[in-house]
């Protein structure tokens, strides 16, 4: 039992590739997305949508949406830790929430959400239900209503608010 969810995924950790630093001297926005993508691969391994499963079933996850909030600059010397929560899941979809941390900064340096769809890869990829074992692993990982309500920045919509 854990404050984040009944079950919990291990964090994903990575150093910063020097090629990911841009002309502003910090981690380019897109590479937070790449770290998110690798952290999602790691989550897939843990819930059982790993390479062997993908090979055997021709099923995989496709990304439908990603939304990243950039909260602090990340520098070349930082080590990133990504903590993934299962915010919600249904028979075919996972709504994942990822919080990015580095030791230099107290709160998260970025917060991201991703919507993922379980797909059977054929000539015409189609959404299919998770097998029972994966569905129950997701159910065990899913955040409580309260945990979900407390996840990430309050603003979920991109718009300018006049001040």
State the greatest distance between any 2 C-alpha atoms of the chain, in Å, as a whole number.
55
φ and ψ at residue 135, rounded to 5 degrees: -60, -40
Residue closer to its own copies (CB basis): 9 or 96: 96
Hey, is 101 helix, strand or coil? strand
17 lines the binding site for its own copies (CB under 8 A)? no
8 lines the binding site for its own copies (CB under 8 A)? no
Question: Which structure tokens are listed for 124?
Answer: 């015409």
33 lines the binding site for its own copies (CB under 8 A)? yes
Question: Which structure tokens are listed for 13?
Answer: 């950790």
Is the CB of residue 140 less than 8 Å from the CB of residue 7?
yes
Identified binder of its own copies from the candidate list 2, 18, 19, 23, rule CB under 8 A: 23
73 lines the binding site for its own copies (CB under 8 A)? yes
List contacts with its own copies (CB under 8 A).
23-25, 28-31, 33-34, 36-37, 51, 54, 60, 62-70, 73, 88-90, 93, 95, 113-115, 121, 125, 156-160, 162
């Amino acid at each position: 039992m854990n404050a984040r969810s009944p079950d919990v995924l291990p964090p994903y950790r990575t150093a910063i590739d020097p090629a990911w630093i841009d002309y502003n001297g910090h981690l380019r926005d897109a590479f937070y997305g790449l770290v998110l993508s690798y952290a999602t691969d790691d989550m897939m391994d843990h819930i059982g949508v790993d390479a062997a499963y993908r090979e055997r079933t021709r099923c995989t996850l496709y990304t439908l949406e990603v939304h990243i909030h950039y909260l602090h600059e990340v520098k070349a010397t930082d080590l990133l830790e990504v903590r993934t929560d299962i915010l919600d899941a249904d028979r075919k979809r996972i709504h994942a929430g990822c919080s990015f941390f580095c030791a230099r900064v107290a709160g998260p340096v970025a917060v991201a959400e991703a919507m993922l769809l379980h797909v059977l890869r054929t000539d015409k990829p189609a959404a299919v239900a998770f097998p029972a074992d994966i569905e129950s692993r997701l159910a065990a990982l899913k955040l409580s209503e309260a945990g979900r309500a407390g996840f990430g920045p309050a603003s979920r919509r991109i718009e300018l608010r006049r001040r």
